[in-house]
């Protein structure tokens, strides 16, 4: 049986396109979404669009479920048999139990290595894409791990949540606060710092003006950005709004490539409809 030298795997929350994953033979393991109608495998049985249809029907708010240790064990067994080495790049340990479960499951396999990306969504995806490029260049797994551990500290993953009701549904903000500030156009922006999500700024603007301010805040005059590629992740945004994001980005930085991707159901469940983010790397 032919065995490849290195197999790259990751969590379904990486938000890279299916075409990209297929092109680079990257395998993903999906999270689960729990609703009052049952538990569904992200991307296979539920999408962000399905999720929002469910939420808008006024049913109990869904919950994301981390990938279990046993699920990882089965996943790693499948790939460890077929490949000399397996490199799994996980969603941040600071936002999900999945990294811990993956690390525990990997102890049963001498050829499985786990990396904590310290990012979510396309922040993790950027590191996966970097690993794929390094593999194509002929780097061995030790070299790839060394580069990723260094470069993940240079990745900027930020996003904005325009819907306070979503944060209240998830228990991130109290109903009292919603009632106090509900009449104000306010949108919090978040960033991943050392693998933990934290608020960086509030934008007291309507959605379009808030987008302009957010993009300006993240890009204008920011030095040392690696302009090779910018990832934009969106969750239930209209094409008009995606075009607005692109227009604003191009005012402040010139990227060689800009990739827009739709958030997985898991990421959409966490961030809500209308949320979006910018992901890039510093040099």
pLDDT, position 48: 85
Which residues of the chain fall below pLDDT 70? 1-4, 163-185
Calpha distance 61→169 (Å, rounded): 7
pLDDT, position 185: 65
Q: What is the pTM of this model?
A: 0.90
**Tens digits of per-residue pLDDT, 155-183?**
999 999 886 665 545 444 444 444 444 55
pLDDT, position 263: 94
pLDDT, position 77: 97
pLDDT, position 3: 55
CA atoms lying within 13 Å on the CB side of residue 180: 5
- 150-155 contacts, C-beta under 8 A, 24 or more apart: 151/127, 151/281, 152/115, 152/117, 152/118, 152/119, 152/127, 153/118, 154/226, 154/281, 154/282, 154/283, 155/119, 155/123, 155/126, 155/127, 155/279, 155/280, 155/281, 155/282
pLDDT, position 178: 44
pLDDT, position 73: 98
Residues 91, 124 contacting (CB under 8 angstroms): yes
Calpha distance 161→113 (Å, rounded): 34
């Amino acid at each position: 049986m032919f065995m490849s030298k290195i197999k790259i795997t990751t969590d379904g929350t990486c938000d890279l396109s299916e075409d990209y994953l297929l092109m680079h033979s990257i395998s993903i393991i999906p999270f689960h979404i729990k609703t009052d109608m049952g538990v569904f495998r992200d991307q296979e049985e539920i999408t962000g669009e399905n999720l929002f249809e469910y939420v808008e029907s006024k049913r109990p708010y869904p919950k994301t479920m981390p990938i279990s240790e046993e699920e990882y064990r089965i996943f790693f067994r499948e790939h460890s048999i077929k490949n000399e080495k397996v490199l799994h790049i996980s969603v941040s340990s600071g936002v999900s139990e999945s990294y811990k479960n993956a690390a525990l499951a990997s102890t049963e396999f001498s050829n499985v290595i786990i990396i904590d990306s310290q990012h979510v969504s396309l922040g993790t995806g950027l590191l996966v894409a970097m690993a794929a490029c390094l593999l194509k260049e002929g780097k061995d797994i030790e070299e790839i791990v060394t580069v990723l551990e260094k470069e993940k500290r240079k990745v900027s993953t930020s996003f904005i949540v325009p819907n306070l009701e979503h944060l209240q549904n998830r228990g991130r903000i109290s109903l009292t606060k919603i009632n106090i500030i509900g009449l104000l156009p306010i949108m919090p922006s978040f960033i991943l710092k050392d693998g933990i999500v934290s608020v960086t700024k509030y934008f007291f603007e309507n959605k379009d003006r808030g987008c302009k301010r957010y993009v300006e805040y993240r890009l204008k005059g920011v030095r040392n950005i690696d302009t090779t590629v910018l990832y934009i992740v969106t969750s239930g945004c209209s094409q008009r709004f995606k075009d607005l994001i692109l227009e604003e980005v191009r005012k402040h930085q010139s990227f060689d490539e800009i990739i827009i991707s739709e958030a997985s159901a898991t990421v959409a469940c966490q961030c809500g409809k209308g949320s979006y983010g910018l992901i890039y790397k510093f040099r």
